[in-house]
């Protein structure tokens, strides 16, 4: 029997869909596309894409292909959207994977069951890192967003966790 989501969990799930939709909507084909070359206009794929996320400007230059999800919630959303093939890693699991996602989840590398080190995440060669919680991508977490950004890896945190004073 499927479990019902509470209103706060449902709201969080909807907000967590944003990075997943970014991946699917902007995945584009493999054909050559000269749109956007020589101009500031985004290519037909919608990239580059700049978002305001929890007070950070996040620029995604192309559709992510090696996503690391640092929390179970963001991982399950990506898996639900059929994006296991674009995931380079997942971490911080507190519960069994949601029913129906077991096979997809088994195909995604898990650098750590709990919070991985910054080095473990970098070993997966991510081109995009997402998390459910500000604390995961902040002081005392896996690393700060700035540490990833210095390496050219955009980050995205669930807007549900961006309340004033948390960032």
Higher pLDDT: 31 or 154? It is 154
* 160, pLDDT greater than 50: yes
Give the model's pLDDT for residue 113: 86
Sign of CA dihedral 91, 89, 141, 8: negative
Q: Which residues contact 121 (CB under 8 A, 6 or more apart)?
A: 68, 70, 89, 91, 111, 129, 142, 143
Mean pLDDT, residues 11-20:
47
Provide the residue ranges of all domains of the chain, joining segments of one domain with +.
Answer: 11-23+45-161
Q: Tens digits of per-residue pLDDT, 45-89?
A: 788 999 999 999 999 999 999 999 999 999 999 999 999 999 999
- pTM across the whole model: 0.75
Higher pLDDT: 22 or 76? It is 76
Most confident listed range (30-34, 41-45, 77-81): 77-81
Instruction: List the structure tokens of 33.
Output: 């596309």
Mean pLDDT, residues 132-136:
94
CATH of domain 11-23+45-161: 3.40.50.1980
Give the model's pLDDT for residue 67: 98
């Amino acid at each position: 029997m499927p479990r019902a989501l509470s209103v706060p969990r449902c709201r969080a799930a909807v907000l967590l869909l944003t990075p997943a939709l970014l991946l699917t909507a902007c995945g584009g084909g493999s054909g050559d596309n000269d749109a956007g070359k020589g101009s500031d206009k985004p290519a037909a794929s919608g990239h580059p894409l700049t978002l305001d996320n929890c007070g950070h400007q996040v620029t995604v230059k192309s559709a992510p292909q090696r996503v690391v999800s640092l929390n179970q919630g963001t991982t399950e959303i990506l898996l639900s959207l059929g994006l296991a093939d674009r995931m380079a890693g997942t971490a911080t699991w507190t519960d069994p994977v949601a029913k129906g996602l077991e096979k997809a989840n088994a195909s995604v590398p898990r650098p750590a069951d709990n919070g991985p080190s910054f080095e473990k995440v970098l070993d997966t060669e991510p081109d995009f890192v997402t998390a459910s919680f500000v604390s995961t991508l902040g002081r005392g977490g896996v690393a700060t967003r700035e540490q990833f950004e210095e390496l050219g890896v955009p980050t995205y945190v669930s807007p549900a966790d961006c309340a004033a004073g948390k960032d």
